[in-house]
């Protein structure tokens, strides 16, 4: 039945997306080129409506049951409305944040989803206590915005989200959580169908409607699927979402170093750096897909590793990420502490 629901979501996405393209032009939900955009023509930008509609088709067909289901879906509706309003009216950042907070609070208060503790190597569980609710809300809002930040090239956010959802599905199968398996798999099928129209050269953008929806769902499903995993529970979804989290983290580092507001837009995100390095639009997207797959595989390996194996894996990953960031200039062109240290030792 799950495969039928996935197939229905995939086909629905392929059918709905052209209809959404026509609808977007009719209501004026379009993205105009500017100095920060890589596209040169007016593009419809409410593709998230097609993704959500396709997901709804598959979800209603299967109707997976879980105590968190209603809260997740109500929060998703709030996110979709928030994203749609932004795609239509360009609402303020504060208004978008308010919508994200509302969705997060709903899934925590109504759905009962919380990061209650983290398992630390050698120390055991660390209970967050009263901090569990704000930490959960910060996680959901943070990942929601991280997916939104990488939505800068044709097919990038949709592809990375699909890879993350497939990784979540695999991990949920290992954990035996069938609600997360079903929900993540149906959403992955919906996003994959949308990619037929969103991959370079795109015919439609997912817009904030899609990026916020996918980010919200990935954040929630990651927590729901791995909150009771042994070793270091919260580390697994962090690794799995390594691409958007790293891009967001180093964007903050970059802006702090340049003494700019954290929310200030720029053209130095991961995809911008790869484009400046000489890679084509399509090559850049495929490289980032590859990175997302590597992070997904690393998360699965981490979940099955011993404590020492997990520590070594994290250390190697952090070193590799740092070197990659320094080489492509993700934190700034003059940010090269390790490379400079190597050069000093070499002399």
208 is an annotated ligand-binding site residue: yes
d(CA 308, CA 49): 45
73-75-76 Cα angle (round to 5): 60
Tell me: cis bond preceding 230? Omega within 30 of 0 counts.
Answer: no
Give all strands (DSSP E) within the chain, no chain letters.
30-31, 43-44, 117-120, 124-127
User: What's the token pair of residue 181?
Assistant: 């398996």
Give SS3 for 330: coil
Helix or strand holding residue 260 (H, E): none
Tokens 């695999």 found at: 170
Q: Which residues of 112-131 are buried (b: 16+ CB within 10 A; e: fewer)?
A: ebbbbbbbeeeeeeeeeeee
Give SS3 for 127: strand
d(CA 217, CA 188): 11
d(CA 84, CA 61): 25
Integer angstrom CA distances of residue 343 from 48, 289, 321: 47, 31, 19
Nearest to 292 by CA among 175, 186, 155: 155
Those residues with Cβ within 8 angstroms of residue 270's Cβ, 6 or more apart along the chain or in another chain: 150, 243, 246, 247, 288, 328, 330
148 is an annotated ligand-binding site residue: yes
**Phi, psi of 204, rounded to the nearest 5 degrees:** -160, 150
Q: Which residues are annotated as a binding site for Mg(2+)?
A: 148, 208
Q: Which residues are annotated as a binding site?
A: 148, 208
């Amino acid at each position: 039945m799950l495969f039928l629901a996935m197939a229905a979501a995939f086909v629905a996405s392929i059918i709905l997306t052209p209809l959404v393209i026509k609808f977007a032009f009719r209501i004026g939900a379009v993205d105009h080129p500017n100095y920060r955009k890589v596209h040169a023509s007016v593009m419809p930008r409410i593709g998230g409506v097609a993704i959500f509609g396709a997901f709804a088709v598959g979800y209603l067909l299967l109707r997976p049951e879980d105590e968190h289901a209603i809260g997740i879906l109500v929060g998703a509706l709030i996110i979709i409305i928030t994203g749609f309003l932004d795609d239509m009216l360009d609402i303020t950042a504060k208004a978008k944040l308010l919508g994200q907070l509302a969705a997060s609070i709903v899934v925590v208060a109504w759905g009962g989803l919380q990061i209650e503790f983290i398992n630390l190597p050698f120390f055991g569980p660390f209970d967050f206590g009263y901090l569990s609710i704000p930490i959960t809300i910060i996680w959901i809002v943070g990942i929601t915005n991280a997916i939104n930040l990488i939505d800068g090239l044709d097919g990038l956010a949709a592809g990375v989200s699909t890879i993350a959802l497939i990784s979540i599905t695999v991990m949920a199968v290992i954990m035996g959580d069938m609600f997360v398996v079903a929900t993540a798999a149906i959403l992955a099928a919906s996003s994959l169908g949308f990619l037929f129209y969103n991959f370079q050269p795109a015919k439609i953008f997912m817009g904030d409607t899609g990026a916020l929806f996918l980010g919200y769902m990935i954040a929630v499903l990651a927590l729901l699927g791995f909150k009771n995993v042994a070793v270091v529970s919260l580390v697994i979804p962090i690794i799995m979402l390594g691409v958007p989290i790293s891009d967001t983290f180093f964007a903050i580092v970059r802006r702090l170093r340049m003494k700019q507001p954290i929310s200030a837009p720029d053209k130095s995100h991961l995809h911008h750096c790869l484009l400046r390095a000489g890679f084509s639009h399509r090559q850049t997207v495929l490289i980032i897909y590859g990175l997302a797959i590597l992070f997904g595989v690393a998360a699965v390996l981490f979940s099955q590793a011993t404590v020492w194996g997990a520590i070594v894996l994290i250390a190697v990953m952090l070193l590799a990420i740092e070197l990659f960031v320094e080489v492509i200039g993700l934190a700034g062109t003059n940010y090269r502490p390790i490379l400079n240290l190597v050069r000093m030792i070499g002399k």
